[in-house]
Amino acid sequence: MEFAGKVAFVTGAGSGIGKATALRFALGGAKVAVLSRTADEITETENEIKSAGGAAIAITADISHEANMRDAVARIIKTYGRLDIVVANAGVNGMWAPIDELKPKEWDQTMTVNLSGTYLTLHFAVPHLRKAGGSIIIVSSINGNRTFTTAGASAYSATKAAQVAMTQQLALELGKDRIRVNAVCPGAIDTEIDDNTDKRNVETAAIAVKWPDGDIPLTGGKPGSSEAVADVIAFLASDAARHVTGVPVYIDGGQSLLR
């Protein structure tokens, strides 16, 4: 029960990494506020936590909407009276296309959700974290940090690189308030995000690279699990990582080292 007495806020908690993280915090004794823009998914996450004996509130909101995020954090504080852990996980892959075919509105959409959404999450949460210190974990990616071979993913990669820069900038800015800020950079993880990726003519931007034995050395090419990412996030949020801040942690089974 390493999170007993703590309140955790996880965005994008309706599925995948966010859901696994919320369940992991609840297992550790935290009260969890889970957020998604999809009402039925986030209600299911809330119900799973409660069915297992945990405490949770479900919030339906768009992370890129200022009023939504202000209200979301206000509800957390009204319900639980404090905030200790924030996991900025929600995001989109957006449109993947050659740079000359990627439309300005498609670029802006990815930037708005992934970067403005991360900013708004932290903008409203940090004043409450300042009261007793805490931990922020931003979910970035190997894309834009160690790997650059995902065809057409210029907008997505740019946002993921920027999230690591935010992590390191804020680790210094918030250190005096005893707030630790770290990032996780997953590689291929068995989630549904690829089903929500829009692609257009990516083959014209692709680099022909083949890995006959699979591109994830640790697992013979098989993707990692959301739970594997959740466990690392839990470590970074825990007192076991009390002297760790400003660090991007790669969770990819060695995938990015091949590229």
Query: Could you say which DSSP state residue 127 is in?
Result: H
pTM score, two decimals? 0.94
Domains, the chain: 7-258 (3.40.50.720)
- Rounded Cα distance between 107 and 100, Å, is 11
Question: What amino acid positions are annotated as catalytic residues?
Answer: 156
What pLDDT score was predicted for residue 2? 93
The owner of tokens 């996880």 is 10
The owner of tokens 């200022």 is 66
What is the dihedral angle through the alpha carbons of 6, 12, 13, 19, rounded to the nearest 10 degrees? -110
What pLDDT score was predicted for residue 192? 61
Tens place of pLDDT for every residue, the chain, 259 residues?
899 999 999 999 999 999 999 999 999 999 999 999 999 999 999 999 999 999 999 999 999 999 999 999 999 999 999 999 999 999 999 999 999 999 999 999 999 999 999 999 999 999 999 999 999 999 999 999 999 989 899 999 999 999 999 999 999 999 999 999 999 999 999 876 665 678 776 777 777 777 667 789 899 889 999 999 999 999 999 999 999 999 999 999 999 998 7
For 11, 27, 47, 159, 231, the CA distances from 33, given in Å and listed in that order, are 8, 14, 12, 25, 18
What pLDDT score was predicted for residue 127? 98
The owner of tokens 């692709």 is 206
